[in-house]
Structure formats: structure tokens, C-alpha cells
Structure 1
Amino acid sequence: MPPANSVAPVRTTSFVTRPGWVELAVAVLAALVLYLIGGVIAVRLPDDAPVSPGHVNFLISGLAPLGAFTLAVVVRIRDVRPFGYRWVSPGWLIAGMVIGIVCFGLSWPVSAVFDPLFPGSEDVQESYREAASSTIQSLAVTVVLGGILTPIGEEFLFRGVLANFLLRWAPWAAVTVSAAVFAVAHGINSVMPLAFVIGIATGLLLWSSGSIWPAVAVHMVYNSAGLIYHGTV
């Protein structure tokens, strides 16, 4: 028994501030497997299936990265805060929404420059446009899946895991590299430059605010605006 005047040792728990190599490796491997499984399901979907191919693709684009993010969290850290899951002031969210609108406005001049360099790229987004322009109900489902679920999944993976992992070194390089990986993940087509712009904007917001939610706001506004535009015009 310790003396009466002794001080008991204080127990401390270590807190990981950013995801590391383990989280990155698990996230990359899980994302590849989940995207592959989703792609096989989408390809084998019968032509008379009651769901739109665009809806299926958006569902995969949201669930696959969310699954990878979840596995990256639970493998070791088991805390979402190191991945940028932190509440932030409304001002940051408003800034994210405004930047999302600006990025949507930039989609026309960027497309005008890069579309001729990637002939046939318009077919890449065709299933999404068909899902948005079919019926009002289909547009609503498309916005939920493509304007909400997909941005959450992709931002949690590419910014929550990848960008946060890279931010331990040179922040500007981390923003650029994560944006480049995000762009290439969309395929070598005319979508790639726009995805890079979105990746730069969301990466900068993550770096500046320390939270993933302003980045999610950018992505949600950009995707939703595009889907509503194609569904109503």
C-alpha cells in the first residue's frame, strides 16, 4: 500500500492526430475491392431491372468509399476525429456552399477547354444524366444518391483518409496530391479536370478548417446543382 501522502500515477491515453500508413493501406485495399464488387454488380444488372444504372452507379460511388473509410477507422484508431470528423462553425459550411456554386459555374469554361481533348467523354456521365432527367421521382432519388451520399463517401475517403494522411508533411503538396488522385479516380476523361478543381477546393477547406464538413458542403452543392440542372433543363 502506498504512503498516504503519495500521488497516484496519472494514466494517459495516446491520441492519434492523423491516420497513418495502416489506415491508408486498409482504405485503399478496401476501396479497390468494394468498387470492384460494385462494378461487377452494375455490369450484371439486367436491362429490365427496376432501378436506373445511374442510381446504381451513384450508390456504388457512395457506399464503396464509405465502407473503406469505416474499415480505416476501426482497424486501429477507432475515433473519427483524426479523420476530420469534427463540428465546425456555420461560417465554414457557408463558405463551402459558396465555393461549390463557384465550382459549378466554372464547369462550363473548364468543359469548353477540355472536352475537345477527350472525345467521347460525354458518354461517361450519360447514365447519371438519364437518371436525373427521367422523372421528378427519379431526379429526387438521383439527388439523394449523387448529391448527398456520393459526396459524403468520396470526401470521407479522399479527404478524410488520404488528405489527412498526407497533411502530416507538406500541406500544399497534400492538397495537390489528394486532388490529383481524386481526379484520376474519376477516369481519364473530361471529368478529370473538374474533379481536380473540386479536389483542390475541398482539400484547402479541410486544411484550413480542420474539419471534413466544409469539403462535403462543396461537393454536395456542386453535385446537386449539376444534377438538378441536367434534370430540369
Structure 2
Amino acid sequence: MNAVLMWMRRTWMLGIVFIIIQCLTWFRYQEAYRDWSWTISLVQGATMLGSPFIAGVCAYMVHRQWPRTTRRDLAGTGRSHHLVSDMTWAVIAWGWAAQAVFLVIGCVSCVVHHADSSGLTLPWQLLTGPIALGASAWLGTLAACLWDSVMTIPVMVLAVFLAHQMFWDMHLPQLLSPDFATVPMSPMRPNPVHMALSILGNAGILVAAKAGCRWQQSPAGARSHGALATSITGMVALVVSCVLVATHPSADLIFI
């Protein structure tokens, strides 16, 4: 059986937790089904709680399942870089599954109630949540690989949670936790330029953190130059997205 599926079987309770997290946002705004954009925004916006949770879970699982001594003993084996990778992707898969469930529920509700679709910004609205969730997960995994302490868990939960407010106030991309609408979107809609750059920034974090984990887990004398180059590329993408949002006039506003 695929290693990711095996980890998903071991962590099935996470699926229930992610469903609960989606419910906490969904049932707070019960009229969202009258607006397509609002509905999709709520599904993605559940990352405000989901992203800190998934970062903490990944940090915990690395600390619990693959502590530094175990990773050091297995370094250099054929699949050593998959030690934390398969586990992290399994956690991410549960988060994506919960998002998919509520996306289907939301779409059906909107179709039944003939919701207003004028505020939709596709495909960007469908990508913001999943990419942000994946970025948060890999950030938690990387932090646990670099800092072998139980304190990594609460630090990552708090850091990712506070990042939402910090990036909002500093006019940066919506990193780790996209903002969501609290009222019907029409006649406004999410800014596609800002969303695209936010996706670029979160994808950069995901790529940089994943490649960084692979580089860090390799033996000191045999670390992959390709992984290092990939990690640097991800960081460059993050910096580019931040610079463009901060300086480009059409990218500053989240809603237009």
C-alpha cells in the first residue's frame, strides 16, 4: 500500500477535526449559499483555524514519530527523505479532503438557491485555501526538523495563527491563511491579481519548506544541491510575490 495512504489510515481522526474546523466557519454565516463567491470564500477562509492546526500537527508528528536521533540513524538510506514527506502529505490530504467536502456542499447549496455568481474569481478562489494549507503543513514539518523540541508545536501554532493578522496589516500577500468575506461579495469580488500573487507566495513557501526538509535530512557530506536550489527558488517566489503586492497598484487591494 502507498505510504501516504498508510499514514492516512493511521491519522483518520484528523479528517474529523478538519471537518469540524470547516463547520465552525460554515455555520457562522448561514446565508452564504445566496452568493457563490461568499460560499467559496468561507471554504477557503477556514484556514484561519486550519492552518495553525495543521502546522502544529505536522510539528508534533515529526517530534513524536521521527525525532532527530531516528532521522540521523536512517540518514543515507534509499528513502530517507520520505520519512517525514509521506506523513506530511497524509496530513495535508485530510485537510484537502475536508475542503473538498464543503466545497461540494457549498456548490450544491448555491445551485439549489440560484445564488449570485457575479463575484466569482476563478480559478484563483479554488486554489488559495489548499495551497495555503499545504504551505502551513510543510512549514510545521520543517520547523520540527530544524528545532528538535516539543516547544516547536505551540510556537508554530501561535506563529501561523498570528501571521494572518500581521500580513493583513502590512499589505502583503495572504500567506498561510487567506482572508474570507463576512458579507455577500456582489457587486465586489476578490482581486484576481492579489489572489494570484498570494498563491505564488504560498506555493513558494510550500516548495521551499519541502525542499528544505529533504536537504536537511540528507547526510552532511551528501546533501542534494538540487534540493537546495529548489528551496532557494521557492524563497525567491515568495519574495517576488511580497514585493509585487507591496508595490504594484493593481495588487494592493484584496477585494475590488
> So what's the TM-score if we normalise by structure 1?
0.38
